[in-house]
Amino acid sequence: MSEINSITLKKPDDWHVHLRDGDMLKRVLPYTSKDFARAIIMPNLVPPVCTTAEAMAYKQRILSALPNGHNFTPLMVVYLTEDTQPDDLEQGYKSGAIQAVKLYPAGATTNSESGVKDFGKVHHVFERMAQIGMPLLVHGEVVDADIDIFDREAVFIDKVLEPIVQKFPALKVVMEHITTKDAADYIRSKDANLAATITPHHLMINRNAMLVGGIKPHYYCLPIVKRESHRLALVVAAVSGDKRFFLGTDSAPHSDEAKLQACGCAGVFNAPNAIICCATLFEQQNALNKLEGFLSINGPTYYGLPVNEAEITLVKTDKALNLAAEYKQLDGALTVFDPLTPLFWRIKE
């Protein structure tokens, strides 16, 4: 079999990204808007984006920061609180202003303090969402102090997610940035209402990258990276062709100043190389024929949106990407995810 050196795909979408706001938005948006046609925009700003009106205001700030020539559509999400109004969600969803609602257990990740503490208080919201077909996006971790951080996802499935799925079987749920074999197996055990996003970093590194030979803060993210057996289970899910799994980069930029301190921020900035990381991984698994599904087809199919008509071409080069040289314009203030394996793929300009 001859080596594949070029592959053309429908233009990918990112089904989970943090664009931040203000100056950081202007700095990082071009890396997403250049390579992706659409993206699901996380609402955990300070203060969070909790209503359709706030989502529309945020969307305008994103569009105002969009570089000339970039054809990019931000897909807006509302942050679920115990005060969320179902009528506002329904009006926003039916008008196309918002695409989904995000559930953060309070305290689970960056800027999640306004999240849900008592899930019973939002059941009426889930009921309305199930009626109108609006997806619920979940950060799948419990935050109980007595639960080990490496077990948060598995416990969330049992204690939180399964009761929701049982009570609201028609509710569409995306378990975002899954990190464990437990989550991959759980998704496969359910019907098409349940899906999951997988990040490039959880596909390419395990917790050794963060902890062996000294602590590496740029690999610290939430949900935290797990052991190798879990990474391998995610790889199997991603390359399987199962339509319930698709890319959500969870690109979550923080300045190096915020990362490199005694209590550093959680987040990996992978927007610049997310697609070529995936191409590298799928090639390693002899699954380049499944790459378009994971990057470009499964996500819009789940969300009920058309697959992009535009295409991109990936080409393989003889020279590996030099992260330091390629992104020197970031001046070290933002560090791009290093997958610890050479990247030979490029997106053809």
Distances (CA, A) of 159 to 65, 117, 126, 265: 41, 13, 17, 27
Q: Is 292 helix (H, G, I), strand (E, B) or coil?
A: helix
Nearest to 252 by CA among 12, 3, 1, 31: 31
Q: Which residues pair with 6 in a beta bridge?
A: 315
Tokens of 22: 């203000």
Residue 1: per-residue pLDDT = 40
d(CA 299, CA 242): 11
**Alpha-carbon gap, residue 66 to 31, rounded angstroms:** 10
Helix pair angle (86-94, 52-64), 10° resolution: 40
Is 66 in contact with 39 (CB distance < 8 Å)? no
Element at 59 (helix H, strand E) = helix 52-64
How far, rounded to the nearest angstrom, does the alpha carbon of residue 254 sit from its chain's CA centroid?
16
Q: What is the pLDDT along the chain (349 residues), one digit of tens a residue?
A: 458 899 999 999 999 999 999 999 999 999 999 999 999 999 999 999 999 999 999 999 999 999 999 999 999 999 999 999 999 999 999 999 999 999 988 766 665 667 788 888 999 999 999 999 999 999 999 988 899 999 999 999 999 999 999 999 999 999 999 999 999 999 999 999 999 999 999 999 999 999 999 999 999 999 999 999 999 999 999 999 999 999 999 999 999 999 999 999 999 999 999 999 999 999 999 999 999 999 999 999 999 999 999 999 999 999 999 988 888 877 668 999 999 999 999 999 8
Q: Return the amino acid letter for 41.
A: I
How much is the pLDDT for 331? 65
140, 182 Cβ separation under 8 angstroms: no
| DSSP character string of 24-58 | HHHHHHHHHHHH-SEEEEP---SS---SHHHHHHH
**What pLDDT score does 329 carry?**
77
Cβ 7 vs Cβ 67: under 8 Å: no
Q: Which residues of 326-341 are buried (b: 16+ CB within 10 A; e: fewer)?
A: ebeebeeebbbbbbee
- Distance between CA 318 and CA 327 in Å, rounded? 19
Q: Residue 267 phi/psi, 5° resolution? A: 155, 145
Q: In sequence order, what are the beta bridge partners of 139?
A: 176
Rg (CA), the chain: 19
- The residues, ordered by sequence, that sit 6+ positions from 228 with a Cβ below 8 Å of its Cβ are 206, 208
Find out whether 267 and 285 touch, Cβ atoms under 8 Å.
no
Known catalytic residues?
250
Instruction: Give CA angle at 255 (329, 110), nearest 5°.
Output: 140
Can you give the pLDDT at residue 109? 65
Q: Which residue has the tokens 């179902």?
A: 86
pLDDT computed for residue 107 by the predictor:
67
Burial zone of 83 (CB within 10 Å; 0-12 exposed, 13-18 middle, 19+ buried): exposed
Spans of all domains in the chain = 6-347
State pTM to two decimals. 0.96
Helix (H, G, I), strand (E, B), or coil: what is residue 217? helix
In CATH, what is the architecture of 6-347? Alpha-Beta Barrel (3.20)
What six digits make up the tokens of 207?
A: 């917790």
Alpha carbons 175 and 223: distance in angstroms, whole number: 12
Supply the pLDDT for residue 106: 75
